[in-house]
Amino acid sequence: MFNLPNPQIGGPELFVLEFGDIVAYFSPYTAVLFAFALLFTVLVIVSRPERQVDIAFGGDAYYTKEVEPDLLRFQRFMAIACGLATLGAMVTGDVFNFTLFASMIGITNIGIVAAYRNRHVLNAAFQYGIVAMLATVPLFGGAAIVLSSTGTLSMWELFTAAVAVPLIAKAFLVLGVMGEGMAPFYIAKAEITRAQGAPFILMVHVSSLLLFLRVMEIVISM
Amino acid sequence: MIEYLLFATFIGLLFHGIHRKVIARVQGRPGPPIWQEILHTLKFSFKETWIPKTASQTLFVGIVFVAIAIWSGALFILLSGGSILLLFAVYLLHKIVEHGMGLSTGSPYTKFGAIRSVISAASELPLLVTVVAIYFFTRSLSIADITAYQEVNGPLLIIAFPAAVAMYLVILSKMHYGPFSIIEAKEIVSGNMTEHFGVWRAGLEVAYALKTYVLLYAFVLIFIGSLPLWLALLAMLIVLVSLSFVCAVTPMLSPYDTVTIQSLVTGALIIYIVILGVVMG
């Protein structure tokens, strides 16, 4: 019933999942990204955080920091939510759903680090929050331009040669994803990684990279 | 497939040994024998192994298996003529491995390595631009289609030379002892690998050997074309030796300088792509 219009980019379609008129699909490309997101979501669920070793300056002493149970529960909850949003973004066949998942990833990424009581980490989370908020304008604006210029948001239609998506819409989508997911790379990530809870902090990175990989496939295919 | 995986691991480790030997000879040192990395991996495989008390245990162990899995998958993609977008994905996922490896231990040295790995995210950008540049010419990202295109039109190394330079830089970014190897710099002990020893280190050596093999083979396939295995290995060796020369004569850059250089190369390639877009419509 469904055939991906351009299998030369992410490979042929393997499996589709219909939700009414929204049809998620698994190609070799999206399936690999989905599997990777799933693997790290499972790792988040089963892992306990590391105990960071800090050196006490001015002496030979060092101490290990423990993650408080409340913080652990909150970080894990946010990381799982981030994993679920990433899973959705990897296989959705609808541009608007993709933008929704992308913004949810941005929110949960901030949540993972914002609960950690450290001035540097909180500053970084605050900066990330501002960029993520600003990025919703090009992100949803890109989807809106796609809809207004082509009449559809379905990737099954947009990927065909008959539908021409304006370059500005593609640029806005990439810009929006960079703001939502990739923001920490450029403004705050080094500071964010000061926070404890390796499996949860790693989810920030996993979701960013996977989101970037997916938007590349979408933009090249359109 | 299993026998090819073993073959690629063996060749990858041998390449690492040759890399060290060439660097040493250029610098006027005798250097280790070329099979040294194979011996290292065997030695690590039988060493006493445990998990540091401060580590996030599941992540500490899991990340080693993830590293082996993604590069085995990348080898499969190459052999099956899959999409270079998938290969690009694997390259990016390797960044998560580097990051996760560093964060999982609790050690400040590995954490520094992990943070440097995040800072050097710019090393992925030239590869992305390479992918886009190749798509301009071949109108497909399938490796099978790219090699078929080269059989008709000649090697992309000549047709899309700037893209080949960018991919060369990408491979250089991942070479040991190179100007961009900031995540395993000696001032932070062994960077993000510091706490992975014994069997875990052996696993990582295997994954890194596969990575070297895959990246070099991908370069040959994408920019020269499909060759008989012995000729492909020879071409890979030539690329490797040239990389070793660069590593031998270039000091390690500071973290921010690596980002600057990689970003400049990306910028130059974006200009190249814009020109391509205008010229080729």
Tell me the nearest-neighbour CA distance from B15 into chain A, angstroms. Answer: 28
Q: How many domains does chain A have?
A: 1
Structural domain contains residue A209: yes
In terms of DSSP bridges, do strands A62-64 and A22-26 run parallel, antiparallel, or are they unpaired?
unpaired
Structural domain contains residue A103: yes
Structural domain contains residue A1: no
B148 burial level (CB within 10 Å; 0-12, 13-18, 19+): middle
Q: Does residue B145 sit at the A interface (CB-CB below 8 Å)?
A: yes
- Predicted local confidence at residue B231, as pLDDT: 92
Q: Does residue B111 sit at the A interface (CB-CB below 8 Å)?
A: yes
Structural domain contains residue A66: yes
- Cβ separation of A190 and B62 shorter than 8 Å? no
Which has the closest alpha carbon to B173: B130, B138, B132, B139? B130
- Cβ separation of B85 and A29 shorter than 8 Å? yes
Tell me the nearest-neighbour CA distance from B59 into chain A, angstroms. Answer: 6
In order along its 222 residues, chain A shows pLDDT tens digits of: 567 677 767 777 778 788 777 788 888 888 889 998 999 899 888 887 777 777 766 767 677 777 777 888 888 898 899 999 999 999 888 889 999 999 999 888 888 878 777 787 788 788 888 888 888 899 999 999 999 998 888 888 888 888 888 888 888 998 888 888 765 555 556 666 667 777 888 888 888 888 888 888 888 888
Q: Which residues of B touch A52 (CB under 8 A)?
A: 54, 106, 108, 111
Which has the closest alpha carbon to A134: A200, A186, A83, A84? A186
pLDDT digits (tens, 9 = 90+) for B176-225: 888 888 887 777 777 788 888 889 999 999 999 999 999 999 999 999 98
Tell me the nearest-neighbour CA distance from B143 into chain A, angstroms. Answer: 9
How far does CA B224 lie from the centroid of its chain? 18
Q: Does residue B85 sit at the A interface (CB-CB below 8 Å)?
A: yes
| Residue among B54, B89, B141 whose CB faces A53 most closely | B54
**Where do the domains of chain B lie?**
2-280
Long-range contacts of A72-78, Cβ-Cβ distance < 8 Å, separation of 24 or more: A72/A48, A72/A197, A74/A111, A74/A115, A75/A49, A75/A112, A75/A115, A75/A116, A75/A197, A75/A200, A76/A44, A76/A45, A76/A200, A78/A108, A78/A111, A78/A112, A78/A115, A78/A200
Tell me the nearest-neighbour CA distance from A198 into chain B, angstroms. Answer: 5
pLDDT above 80 (res B172): yes
pLDDT above 90 (res B24): yes
- Predicted local confidence at residue B10, as pLDDT: 94
**In the block, residue with structure tokens 């099979």:** B35
Q: What is the ipTM of this complex?
A: 0.81
pLDDT above 80 (res B280): no
**Could you tell me the residue range of the domain that residue A106 belongs to?**
7-221
Interface of B with A in 44-63 (CB under 8 A): 53-60, 62
- Cβ separation of B88 and A213 shorter than 8 Å? yes
Residues of chain B with pLDDT > 70: what percent?
Answer: 98
pLDDT digits (tens, 9 = 90+) for B51-105: 888 888 888 899 999 999 999 999 988 888 888 888 888 888 888 888 888 888 8
Q: In chain A, which residue's Cα lies nearest the Cα of B107?
A: A53
- Predicted local confidence at residue B21, as pLDDT: 94
Q: In chain B, which residue's Cα lies nearest the Cα of A52?
A: B106
Under the banding of pLDDT at 50, 70 and 90, the label for residue B130 is: confident
Tell me the nearest-neighbour CA distance from B46 into chain A, angstroms. Answer: 26
Alpha-carbon distance B169 to B196, whole Å? 27
Interface with A, mutate which of B66, B79, B88, B99 (most A CBs under 10 A): B99
Q: Which residues of A touch B57 (CB under 8 A)?
A: 47-48
Helix (H/G/I), strand (E/B), else coil: A19 = strand
